[in-house]
Amino acid sequence: MKDLLTPRERFGLLVIDEPQDRVPVFPLLTAHAAVAAGFSLRDYYTNGFTMARAQLAAQERYGIDFISFFSEVGLIAEALGSRYFYPEDDLPYLSEPRWQEPVEPGDYVADPHRDGRLRVYLEGISYAYDACSDRVPIVAYVPAPFTTAQQLLDQEAFLTGLLVSPDRIHHLLDFATRSVKRFAQAIIRAGGLPILVDPLASGSVISPEQYQEFALPYEREVIRYLHRFDLDVVLHICGDTSLIIELMPLSGADLLSVDRIEISQAIKAAGDRCRIIGNYDTTSLLLKSADEIEREVTAMVGQGKNCPAGFVAATGCEVPLATPAENIDAFVRSAKTAGRNPDFDSWRNG
Amino acid sequence: MKPNLWQDPLPARITFDEWAELFETVPDELIQSFRYFRRPDESESPRVHSDTSNHWSQYLFPPQTFAIYGCRHLRRLKFDNSLAALRLWGFVQNETERLFRARQIGRHVIATMGDLGAVPVIVNSFPDCIAFYPDCSWWTPFVMESKVLLETAAELGIGEATCFSRAALAAFARRAYFPVPEMVIAATGASCDDYSGVEQLVADIARELLWVELPLRRLGTCQTFTGMVYEAQARELLVSEFRRVVERLEHLTGCRVTDEELGRSIRRTNRLRRMVMELRRLAYGDGVLPALEMMVVEFGNLHCYSDPDEWERVVEHLLQTARQRRQANRRVVLEDALRLVWVTPPADPLLLTFVEDRGARLVGTEYVINQALEPIDEEKEPLTAIAESFMAASLIGTSRQRSELIIQQLYANRAEGVVISGILGGSHCAMEARLIADRVKAETGLPVLEFDVAPPAREIDRQLATRIEAFLELLRDKR
Amino acid sequence: MGMIRTAEFERLQRQRLQELSEARAAGKKVIGYWCQYVPAELIHASGAIPVRLLRASREAEERGEKYLRSDACSFCKVCLGGFETESLYRFVDGVVNVSTCDMMRRLGEAVSAFAGVPAFTLYLPRTSEPLSPRVGEFLRQLRLLADWLACFTGVRAESTRLADAITSYDRLRELLRKFDANRALPAPAVSQSDILDLTALAVTLDPDQATALLERLLSLLPTASAGMTVRPRLLLAGSIFLPADRWFLNVLEAGADVVGDVLCTGARWSAETQVGRGDSLESLAWFYYSRPACACRRPNDELYQFARQLIAERGVQGIVVKTLLYCDPWSFEIRRLRQKLRIPVLAVDSDYAGENQEQVRTRIEAFLEAL
């Protein structure tokens, strides 16, 4: 069935608490888009135009409701001096963090147009913006301060630092926050809606208490900055969020994108204040049959539609690179069908 | 607003990116202080169910915000750099959200169409009623650089042979640009065909639609406040039509409107119209505000962008800024800029930026909304007074009468040229462009440039740009 | 073979020109008009000769474009250009235009400015609900028209003269309706071309002369159907249809019977009479205000009722809608016609240049095959 609204219109209604023709559908097609479009991954994450073309192709191919920009969570850390290895056919990975021990980080702020690969996003956003932003929202994942800080410092030193030298860690987080905000500002000017992504703050990595002390305040600061622009901010934390779901709304986020948590729990804990984005399991998306996926996604959307503040049918995390296209089709198809709103006036039928 | 929170920079027209820089310096406290739908007795707005922080009614946001939500053309415009102008843009761009919020907080959302300025004075006199013009959706394809609405209009049977008013029908149909109005008050008669056609199609999808007749204006023995001559009988017909509007609104709301309530709405409308007239004098006379902001202000007089109380504050703020600039002798346009009167609003706002960038400025406009500038007599019976004010409307009379409105401004502000921007398929454009151009040339001897606004695009059509530049060159040579 | 041969039709038109020339020489005034909402009775009763201006040509359209933009509707262009190209227009002392649509409303001003012919713009409220204040205002407009006419002729349309004129025009309409009724038969003897020709003569010739002609032709009309035809039965709708559109009808009638129309130059003009409604200016106002709705009236539901009735009564299988380029009132209705009448619709947009005639022919033929 042909959609009544464009993704732009649909998202616009969602964020002002109005019913839509169906729930927005948003499998997190990040680097998978490059694979689907036949680009090398290195080209994808080093060339903004390639990233944009891959995302535009994926949006059109799968009929999803967003164009999203993301390669990996180390993007800002790289711009601040951490080193990454760039495989031809895989995503970059951290080869050498900026610091091995907690230090006084100074006051440098990453320049989005000069440092690291930040401009890759900006070029890509500009390209996609010109291409389709009247119809499709352009979103860009911005690594949150906590996740960025963790990429700036040796991981063990960072986790130890949370316990033994919290002040130093806070300095590092302040340092990261300034660059995160600057990058978010550049994304806004390019026409993208920043999504704050903080996977290393999930319950799979730190405790709720640590989340509350080290991640949440910095998420809140960035979100407060974004709210100066009246932007509807998504906070995405993949991994286990069951223990921090009640804390996440305190960040001020307008939409929470969650991964490993019962969707009903997420709705109960936060769905009266935040729209919930979630959360089909990406391993299932990779491995299960199209029929199984359809069944499970239908059930998920059935629950998600009950979220008082609104719901977006998404995957919990990034769609794995090797996911068969028919599985993604099954996800999108079933989410659209299950998410349809029969009460939305249908002008096409007169 | 606390006065020490902000100091405007020296007046200038600045780019989208420059506003982004400037906005970084706007304090949070200031952003939080501007809100729509404020209760009369307090500064706070009512709550909506999903918003615990009660931020929803803020509107002081920069062009970047609206660009992210699809208003791509903003990136190419130039804006006045005052806080008042930022407030103006934020308020206006926020209207879609405001209309949906209006419904969420239990207000009656009423669509008024075709009359451009009169019926909202009545609607807004009812408690909890809000009037808006779907007609204004004709700018949306331009502001978004988008074909979505025009393609939908084509699906609904209106193609390129109709002016951009067809976007209004599409906006109705798509249900994403304003809430489904509880009632549509569709004015037709001595008005344009395009909106009349749109209204007829809207009638098929509207919940309830009331037709209102707009009479033809002939020369008579009566005069409006500003001297437009008309016949009493035509006004009386309009009064009878307005009476039907009142009755239907009373039925809808369950409230009887009193003359006092109508009078209050009239007085507020007059305050606004007086302020806008003063702004016109300051902007078109003294050059203290750019043309783009002025167009947005003039059209605000139609329905106050769905929140008359806050719109009044927005206009007051702008007026204050304009007065201060004049007092300090600080213009926002070049002192020796070429002086133009612009006829018929440009569907593409970039045209105004374009001519100002090339050393011209507007010293007058005839945007087919003369009725929204006309004061309403506060001494007369309210509906009679509103009807009388409408008798000054731009389009209900002859092209000759409309020409006179233009010629008055040409003389008043020593204009050097006239620009008539038409719309392909616009019914009145097709018939009166030549009549107006001939009349203006014969009376004033001034050069007239007439063109059609091209469909929505990122840039001004190259051929049109050349024509405008050549016209401005001609005016320069004539000096 | 039509009710009236083309040669005869043209002879009568030429003869009318001669009569108008002589009448003007004798001091009579000729008042042209374009619209079905103009009460010819009033013009007649005012001592002037009403002539409906139904001439169009490619040349007239081109001349009209000298004064109007290319996106003015083709009819407005020929109305203006006609003053430079059409013999009939040259006999006109004044014109009456009606504010049916925005372009026609402004036509009078353009005619005065560019052709130098005095024009009276008759304001007909566009809203069709016949509320007293609206009809009252229309009545006032008729009085103004009567005053304007009196300035030309020196004659006021007094009630006796008006009553006589109403009777004359009623008779014409009554006769035309009999021709139209024949089209309901299984094998109609009257074609759409006949209806348009006869209506054109009724609004061009002197009413008495036209009445005599129609009575004579009616006496020749078979009263029963000559068997059955298997040709598709069509309804014709759309913008004003002029003799210059004959080529279109030729194509249509080669393969189908047009058994009804909702045209202002066809059956809508003669759809009803004023008998029993009084013979004053007031009754004239009510009559004309409530004429079967043009697409430009708001709401225009009555137009659809009129069409529905014809479809039901005459076994209509398809509708052909011919719109003029930039005619908003009709071009906005195409989709609604499809939705509301629920029978096949062929919509054709054209002007008087006739450049798309072959394309139109192909489309009509394909449409008829599909029925």
CB–CB of B104 and A273 under 8 A?
no
Whether C69 contacts chain B with CB within 8 A: yes
CB–CB of B157 and C134 under 8 A?
no
Q: Report the DSSP pairing between strands A83-85 and A93-96.
A: antiparallel
Contact assessment for residue A255 and residue A219, using Cβ atoms and an 8 Å cutoff? no
Q: How far is CA C23 from the centre of its chain?
A: 24
Distance from the B243 Cα atom to the nearest Cα atom in chain C, whole angstroms: 11
ipTM of the complex: 0.95
* Residue with token string 């407005």: C76
Per-residue model confidence (pLDDT) at position B38: 87
Q: Report the DSSP pairing between strands A193-197 and A234-240.
A: parallel
Taking every pair of Cα atoms in chain C, the longest distance, rounded to a whole number of angstroms, is: 58
- Find, among B334, B267, B342, B258, the residue nearest to B298 by Cα: B342
Looking from the CA of B179 toward its CB, the CA atoms found within 13 Å total 25
Tokens of C143: 């009085």
The DSSP 8-state label assigned to residue A59 in this structure reads H
Contact assessment for residue B145 and residue B457, using Cβ atoms and an 8 Å cutoff? yes
Residues of chain C with pLDDT under 50: none
Per-residue model confidence (pLDDT) at position C165: 94
Distance from the B305 Cα atom to the nearest Cα atom in chain C, whole angstroms: 27
Q: Which residue in B has a C-alpha nearest to residue C110's C-alpha?
A: B435
Contact assessment for residue B341 and residue B410, using Cβ atoms and an 8 Å cutoff? yes
Residue C272 DSSP SS3: coil
Q: Could you say which of C113, C136, C298 has the minimum Cβ distance to residue B196?
A: C298
**Is residue A67's pLDDT more than 80?**
yes
For B61, residues 6+ apart whose C-beta sits below 8 A from its C-beta are A228, A229, A230, B31, B90, B93, B94
How would you write the pLDDT of chain B (479 residues) with one tens digit per residue?
566 789 999 999 999 999 999 999 999 999 999 999 987 655 455 555 455 456 789 999 999 999 999 999 999 999 999 999 999 999 999 999 999 999 999 999 999 999 999 999 999 999 999 999 999 999 999 999 999 999 999 999 998 888 999 999 999 999 999 999 999 999 999 999 999 999 999 999 999 999 999 999 999 999 999 999 999 999 999 999 999 999 999 999 999 999 999 999 999 999 999 999 999 999 999 999 999 999 999 999 999 999 999 999 999 999 999 999 999 999 999 989 999 999 999 999 999 999 999 999 999 999 999 999 999 999 999 999 999 999 999 999 999 999 999 999 999 999 999 999 999 888 899 999 999 999 999 999 999 999 999 999 999 999 999 999 999 999 999 99
CB–CB of A230 and B58 under 8 A?
yes
For C367, residues 6+ apart whose C-beta sits below 8 A from its C-beta are C318, C320, C344, C346
Distance from the B77 Cα atom to the nearest Cα atom in chain C, whole angstroms: 30
Cα A258 to Cα A277: distance, rounded to the nearest angstrom: 6
For C18, residues 6+ apart whose C-beta sits below 8 A from its C-beta are none
Per-residue model confidence (pLDDT) at position B40: 63
Provide φ and ψ at B14, rounded to 5°. Answer: -120, 160
CB–CB of B193 and C103 under 8 A?
yes
- Find, among C100, A39, A287, the residue nearest to B189 by Cα: C100
Whether A231 contacts chain B with CB within 8 A: yes
The CA–CA distances, whole Å, from A107 to A144, A149, A187, A327 equal: 18, 14, 21, 46
Restricting to B residues 156-215, those with a Cβ less than 8 Å away from any Cβ of C are: 156-159, 161-162, 186, 188-194, 196-201, 203-204, 211-213, 215
Distance from the B60 Cα atom to the nearest Cα atom in chain A, whole angstroms: 8
pLDDT band at A295 (very low <50, low <70, confident <90, very high): very high
Instruction: Please write down the HEC assignment for all residues of chain B.
Output: CCHHHCCCCCCCEEEHHHHHHHHCCCCHHHHHHCECCCCCCCCCCCCCCCCCCCCCCECCCCHHHHHHCCCHHHHHCEEECCHHHHHHHHHHHCHHHHHHHHHHCCCEEEEEECCCCCHHHHHCCCCCEEEECHHHHHHHHHHCCCCHHHHHHHHCCCCCCCCCCHHHHHHHHHCCCCCCCCEEEEEEECCCHHHHHHHHHHHHHCCCEEEEEECCCCCCCEECCCCCEECHHHHHHHHHHHHHHHHHHHHHHCCCCCHHHHHHHHHHHHHHHHHHHHHHHHHHHHCCCCHHHHHHHHHHHHHHHHCHHHHHHHHHHHHHHHHHHHHCCCCCCCCCCEEEEEECCCCCCHHHHHHHHCCEEEEEEECCCHHHCCCCCCCCCHHHHHHHHHCCCCCCCCHHHHHHHHHHHHHHCCCCEEEEEECCCCHHHHHHHHHHHHHHHHHHCCCEEEEECCCCCCCCCHHHHHHHHHHHHHHHHHC
Section A211-232 average pLDDT? 97
Per-residue model confidence (pLDDT) at position C149: 97
Q: How far is CA B180 from the centre of its chain?
A: 21
| Amino acid occupying residue C262 | V
Q: Which residue in B has a C-alpha nearest to residue C80's C-alpha?
A: B431
Instruction: Please write down the HEC assignment for all residues of A185-253.
Output: HHHHHHCCEEEEECHHHCCCCCCHHHHHHHHHHHHHHHHHHHHCCCCCCEEEEEEECCCCCCCHHHHCC
Cα A320 to Cα A334: distance, rounded to the nearest angstrom: 19
Cα angle: B174, vertex B175, B176; to 5 degrees: 90
**Helix (H) / strand (E) containing A292:** helix A290-304
Q: Could you say which of A13, A229, A348 has the minimum Cβ distance to residue B61?
A: A229
How many A/B residue pairs have CB atoms within 8 Å?
A: 98
CB–CB of A12 and B58 under 8 A?
no
CB–CB of C106 and B201 under 8 A?
no
Restricting to A residues 101-140, those with a Cβ less than 8 Å away from any Cβ of B are: 129-130, 133-135, 137-138
Distance from the A197 Cα atom to the nearest Cα atom in chain B, whole angstroms: 19
CB–CB of B186 and C298 under 8 A?
yes
Cα C341 to Cα B79: distance, rounded to the nearest angstrom: 51
For B35, residues 6+ apart whose C-beta sits below 8 A from its C-beta are B43, B44, B45, B57, B58, B59, B310
Q: Could you say which of B161, B215, B426 has the minimum Cβ distance to residue C137?
A: B215
Cα B333 to Cα B77: distance, rounded to the nearest angstrom: 15
How many B/C residue pairs have CB atoms within 8 Å?
A: 141
* Residue with token string 């353009």: C110
Q: Which residues of B are less than 8 Å from A347 in CB distance?
A: 156, 172-175, 205
- Find, among C328, C311, C327, the residue nearest to C319 by Cα: C311
Q: Which residue in B has a C-alpha nearest to residue C72's C-alpha?
A: B430
Taking every pair of Cα atoms in chain B, the longest distance, rounded to a whole number of angstroms, is: 64
Distance from the C259 Cα atom to the nearest Cα atom in chain B, whole angstroms: 27
Whether A192 contacts chain B with CB within 8 A: yes
Contact assessment for residue A78 and residue A139, using Cβ atoms and an 8 Å cutoff? no
The DSSP 8-state label assigned to residue C262 in this structure reads -
CB–CB of A191 and B24 under 8 A?
no
Question: How many residues would you count in chain C?
Answer: 371
Contact assessment for residue A339 and residue A22, using Cβ atoms and an 8 Å cutoff? yes
Q: Which residues of C are less than 8 Å from B451 in CB distance?
A: none
* Residue with token string 């109403």: C166
Q: Could you say which of B159, B237, B432 has the minimum Cβ distance to residue C134?
A: B237
Cα B292 to Cα B356: distance, rounded to the nearest angstrom: 9
Q: Where are the beta strands (DSSP E) in chain A?
A: 25-28, 67-69, 83-85, 93-96, 138-143, 193-197, 234-240, 255-260, 275-280, 311-318
For B197, residues 6+ apart whose C-beta sits below 8 A from its C-beta are B158, B162, C328, C329, C331, C332
Is the backbone peptide bond immediately before C292 cis, with ω within 30 degrees of 0?
Answer: no
Restricting to B residues 385-414, those with a Cβ less than 8 Å away from any Cβ of C are: 398-400
Cα A130 to Cα B222: distance, rounded to the nearest angstrom: 54
Cα A344 to Cα B449: distance, rounded to the nearest angstrom: 47
Is the backbone peptide bond immediately before C300 cis, with ω within 30 degrees of 0?
Answer: no
CB–CB of B431 and C328 under 8 A?
no
Cα B386 to Cα B120: distance, rounded to the nearest angstrom: 10
Per-residue model confidence (pLDDT) at position A350: 43
Tokens of A171: 């300095």
CB–CB of B50 and A272 under 8 A?
yes
Looking from the CA of B123 toward its CB, the CA atoms found within 13 Å total 31
Strand order in the sheet with C94-98: C49-52, C30-33, C94-98, C119-122
| Amino acid occupying residue A142 | V
Sign, CA dihedral B311-B313-B315-B317, equals negative
* Residue with token string 């009423």: B110
Section A229-233 average pLDDT? 96
Per-residue model confidence (pLDDT) at position C292: 82
Q: Which residues of B are less than 8 Å from A13 in CB distance?
A: 100, 176
Tokens of B320: 């204050």
Whether A208 contacts chain B with CB within 8 A: no
**Is residue A65's pLDDT more than 70?**
yes
Cα A220 to Cα A226: distance, rounded to the nearest angstrom: 10
CB–CB of B430 and C73 under 8 A?
yes
Contact assessment for residue B190 and residue B395, using Cβ atoms and an 8 Å cutoff? yes
Substitution target in A189, A255, A275, A346 with the highest count of B β-carbons within 10 Å is A189
For B258, residues 6+ apart whose C-beta sits below 8 A from its C-beta are none
Whether B247 contacts chain C with CB within 8 A: no
Looking from the CA of C366 toward its CB, the CA atoms found within 13 Å total 10
Chain A: list its partners (3+ Cβ pairs within 8 Å): B
**Helix (H) / strand (E) containing C328:** helix C328-331
CB–CB of B65 and A231 under 8 A?
yes
* Residue with token string 């430009």: C296
Q: Could you say which of B48, B70, B176 has the minimum Cβ distance to residue A134?
A: B70
CB–CB of B233 and C140 under 8 A?
yes
Q: Which residues of A are less than 8 Å from B20 in CB distance?
A: 185, 188-189
Per-residue model confidence (pLDDT) at position B399: 96
